Amino acid sequence: MSRASDTYDPWASDSPDQTRRASDGVRPRNGHLTPPTRPTRKPREEARLAAAVELFCDAKTAEGLSPRTVRWYRDILDRAVARFGARTILDEIDAPAWRAWLVELRSTLAPVSVAGYVRCLHVFGNWLVAEELAGADAIRRLAKPRVPRKLVEPLTDEELRGLLALAGTRDQAILLLLLDTGIRVSEAAGICFRDLRGDGSIKVMGKGSKERLVPVGTSSRRAIGRYLAERGRGEPDEPVFLAEGGTGLTFHGIQQILKRLKARAGLQRRCSPHTFRHTFARNYLVNGGDVFSLQRILGHTSLDMVRRYVALADTDVASRHDLASPADHLLGGRARPVR
């Protein structure tokens, strides 16, 4: 019996011609093994823009991203398809062409929106490379435009009271919830009855499908209770806030509520859902809250965004100091006017 080879292949066939089949080489007449001829690899078909966008959005949906996030990707990339053509080969769009498009967008979009387009394109480009669909060098190397850092002016107590006085029972509950917790409008729209906790907190679904518990104050809970007394209790999976037709309020529905109330109150300044988030953060810090609990309530993964809210609170503290400076009161100095 011949000795088994030390390089025995456990996946080789046990037929009599095992040795010949297991061999990686071809034995010519001279008895020496030569490397096998590798099959010719079929060249990869060059990715076209519209087809790649469809695959990308399908992949992000499969990864579990929220429908709103996938829709954001699709809206931006669909504009790219409209600009460059559905059947355009991706790698034939060079960097100057992409930059020229971004310059065009600046005529109708704010700098922060254009920066969002670049962020979307970076994600798209990295995915194309990971999937080996395109090199995407021109997309991945796009520089992110600078975005002016502007502080969002929070609403004053007088403005808030004016809005609440004009709001109905449902809208009062929504306004107070936004003011008291700083949750995003999409999170407020997604609250179901099962999310109302017995300890007075609310479970919300944040960005990246991350759940968190948000504490709610007494005034906000009472306002929600008054609304539920009129609306009636629903099933666990039923949304708490309903539109006029009986369906759940959407992100855009709450936006329209704020828009209508702003018009009725005659406010000439910004009064968006994000204004309420900034107002909550500023007031929370000024009233003695700390940045670490604020970070958890807002659902931020880092303190970078919270630092902007701290700047708002610092501005408020400086204004108060101008009016109550101990040295100015002692020496009779006049406080500087509040800016």
Q: What domains can you pick out in the chain, each with its CATH number?
A: 49-140 (1.10.150), 157-324 (1.10.443.10)
**CA 202 – CA 184 distance, rounded (Å):** 13
* pLDDT score recorded for residue 31: 54
pLDDT at 223: 92
- CB count within 10 Å of CB 136 equals 22
- Which amino acid is present at 2? S
Which among 21, 42, 23, 25 is positioned nearest to 34, based on CA atoms? Answer: 25
Residue 40's pLDDT is what? 45
β partners of residue 34: 26
| pTM for the predicted model, two decimal places | 0.63
Confidence (pLDDT) at 324 = 63
pLDDT confidence of residue 56 = 96
Four-CA torsion 100, 104, 107, 108, nearest 10 degrees: -140
Catalytic sites, residue numbers? 184, 207, 274, 277, 300, 309
Cα angle 221-225-231, degrees, rounded to a multiple of 5: 140
Helices 251-265 and 169-181 sit at what angle, rounded to 10 degrees?
Answer: 100
Which residue's structure tokens are 């992000």? 60
Tell me how far apart the alpha carbons of residues 73 and 191 are, in angstroms, rounded to a whole number. Answer: 24
The pLDDT score that the predictor gives to residue 43 is 42
In the chain, the amino acid numbered 71 is R
Per-residue pLDDT tens digits of the chain, which is 339 residues long: 445 445 444 323 344 444 444 444 445 555 555 555 555 444 456 789 999 999 999 999 999 888 888 999 999 999 999 999 999 999 999 999 999 999 999 989 888 889 999 999 999 999 999 999 999 999 999 988 887 776 677 888 899 999 999 999 999 999 999 998 988 888 999 999 999 988 888 998 877 677 888 888 889 999 999 999 999 888 999 999 999 888 899 989 999 999 999 999 998 888 888 888 888 888 888 777 777 888 888 887 767 667 766 665 666 666 666 666 666 666 766 545 444
Helix axes 67-84, 95-105, angle to 10 degrees: 110
pLDDT recorded at residue 278: 85
Count the Cβ atoms, other than its own, within 10 Å of residue 258.
Answer: 21
Residue 143's alpha-carbon distances to 80, 138, 336, in angstroms, are: 17, 10, 42
| CA–CA distance, 210 with 212 (Å, rounded to integer) | 7
Report residue 57 CA to chain centroid gap. Answer: 15
The conformation of residue 194, written as its DSSP 8-state character, comes to G
Residues forming beta bridges with residue 204, ordered by sequence position: 212
Structural contact between residues 28 and 34, judged by C-beta atoms closer than 8 angstroms: yes
